[in-house]
Chains A and B, each alone.
Chain A
């Protein structure tokens, strides 16, 4: 389990991270969302023990990042937003080096390297030089490096940046698989729809402050307490708006453009079915009817201002 307690980082007069707190459990895939300079990388680097917190701490399976950084390092895999690859090194040598510094016993190293290469689908590239790999493969190699010591926590800083759609989809599937393996995965990204797909928890950070934290559905639900229905009618929009406004569970109704009506609706899904039936029964020429649900991007844009530290 990872407990982040009031983690804070200051640089001179600038507070990069303003005392953030959250808890994650094994199997959690946490999407860390924020603009550039919001404090995501600083937080991840503090969790990776590469930066010393000014205040607060984080505890991973009873090891405190301030008191026992070496203990924490044994349990984390850190993948930064750059490759940090060495030239003139083969794929297996690169992994062998990291397996050695993570104190993976010599006897087990070959097996460990084979298994992480298989997991990241790089077995065929075992003897290739790292600089000869494509960007997607290098990214997967970096992920393989993070896995050689079977960490409990994976810190992935912008893992999908610069990848083509196929490589991105593969990486997404890989991260989801790691979550299923019981690892805690923290992923920072700008690409919000992608995070919503495989993260079960998200956190939105701006100017070093954690503005929202929790399951995607909960955060979206909190931001949009009522259903929003988008109705397209063929004729008499104004008349339809007047009719709808007087119907049960309707909070507000407005014509948003030629033929489009936006309805704020407080009823549940059953009430929504009855509402549509009643509307058609009243003679409204309904062409399309759909629930306009908010997504992570809407929540992000609503919560944040784009202000930088």
Chain B
């Protein structure tokens, strides 16, 4: 036990302290005049912008002290906004090409022919990218310190804002690292990293603005605010002092952000590690376990938050979902599973052109649920759905003390059938195509064609669905139960669920027959005696 702990400690020391990848990248980053020049230009621009803003803010004559304080505060906010922009631009840009370039240069083979684990390598890459972003933040400290000296903010404000920006940088870095591992080309890695950063910023900013808006207009109590206000890099100066009440205790939102950002960074690294690891790698098991755990926790929190009187900002408590009319409650739970469409191609598809772990190894093997092989795809999908609905019901039960009615379970059945149908589609496509990449792209395209594209078409042709319509185009739309709630929703939901389940069985049957035929073909080819010269 003691020896195992000592080994674990030594391994982690090697990974996090003196990581060879980080040391090498650090030497390259700081080599010659280039880095000094870059830092100089960066500081020059930052100070220049800050001086312009400061002059504009304080240029008016004859204002009151209150006005002057307001101006100084806005100067501080703009400075922190600039740093937020720096983090959003620099972190993905620095990280996006790190792994993909090594793969193109093929130096990654040299690294992985040495006794290097994906964790060691990825953490090293992350340290080197994140450290550079952090250096830029630290360099800007004199500029932000001016706000403290002039009276726009306190040291604690600056410190917490820096922590928040660092954590946001960490999340963006880890996401870009994942994209760099997934993408075959640097351009793709850069595009996907920035797309992710833009989507994250958009969503986080909208959420933060909504919550902060309530605080600004006086509906809140002090600086209590939902946790998500600290997610946006653009509002760190305003969100730095906010807290969330958990069990009667005031917990600083930056502390929650600390935990959340580490969890996000960890799952991104596990995702990247599972791609780099060989068959049966512990990163694959770790990723799947984390996926299940995160699903359980997130759905539990959402289920709990929808309980009566739970969701509030300050003293304002928002209307909650009445669990006795569980239709809407079920629809919300089903929508929580939407992100699965990005992961399903990795769970469902297999290929004959890749490593053993991507090759067909049976239709449904519960014991393979965590090892990332195609046989464990269905058990893992069902486990995800179980965690999603289980967590949701548990959270809701904690909030109101009862479990939802039958309508909720109808949606659970429908949504599970929906994803099982796409899983079986992935298997059928895998059976008829040889390339894993092609199959994954086809499944994603099929999803878009079946689920996303019909929506604007049906809206244009049939209009918005109404309670009075007996039968219209909406009934043919596969996710119609999730976008409209009619009195006959239960029948429609169950009918669609059974139809999709039937279709799944058919596709799995066809796919498995074709796969067997293909595998026997491969065996026959191999059994032919090779005629040497």
Contacts and interface: CB of A to CB of B under 8 A. Distances in A.
A84 B106 contact: yes
A82 B353 contact: no
A209 B532 CA distance: 9
A10 interface: yes
Contact of A303 (B18, B113, B530, B532): B532
B526 interface: yes
Given A88-B28, A97-B20, A54 B356 contact: yes
Contact of B525 (A13, A78, A100): A13
Contact residues on A (Cβ < 8 Å of other chain), bracket: 35 or more
B115 A93 contact: no
Interface string B6-42: 0000000010001011011001100100000000000
A282 interface: no
B115 A73 contact: yes
Contacts of B522: 10, 12-13
Interface string A60-103: 00000000011001101010101011111100010001101111
A305 interface: yes
Interface string A223-242: 00000000000000000000
B467 interface: no
B353 A11 contact: yes
Nearest to B28: A88
Interface stretch (A45-53, A159-167, A171-179, A185-193): A45-53
B107 A84 contact: yes
A226 B388 CA distance: 77
Contacts of A49: 112-113, 278
A15 interface: yes
Nearest to A98: B114
A18 interface: yes
A82 to B, nearest CB: 5
A101 B116 contact: yes
A76 B114 CA distance: 8
A85 B107 CA distance: 7
Contact of A73 (B18, B20, B114, B355): B114
Given A13-B352, A50-B113, A89 B24 contact: yes
Contacts of A28: none
25 contacts: A12-B353, A12-B522, A13-B352, A13-B521, A13-B522, A15-B526, A49-B112, A49-B278, A50-B109, A52-B279, A52-B356, A70-B115, A70-B117, A73-B113, A78-B110, A80-B106, A82-B106, A86-B24, A89-B27, A97-B24, A145-B110, A209-B532, A211-B532, A302-B533, A303-B533
Interface of B: 14, 18, 20-21, 23-24, 27-28, 31, 105-107, 109-117, 120, 278-279, 351-353, 355-356, 434, 521-522, 525-526, 530, 532-533
Name the 4 nearest CB pairs between A and B, nearest first.
Answer: A100-B20, A84-B107, A78-B113, A12-B352
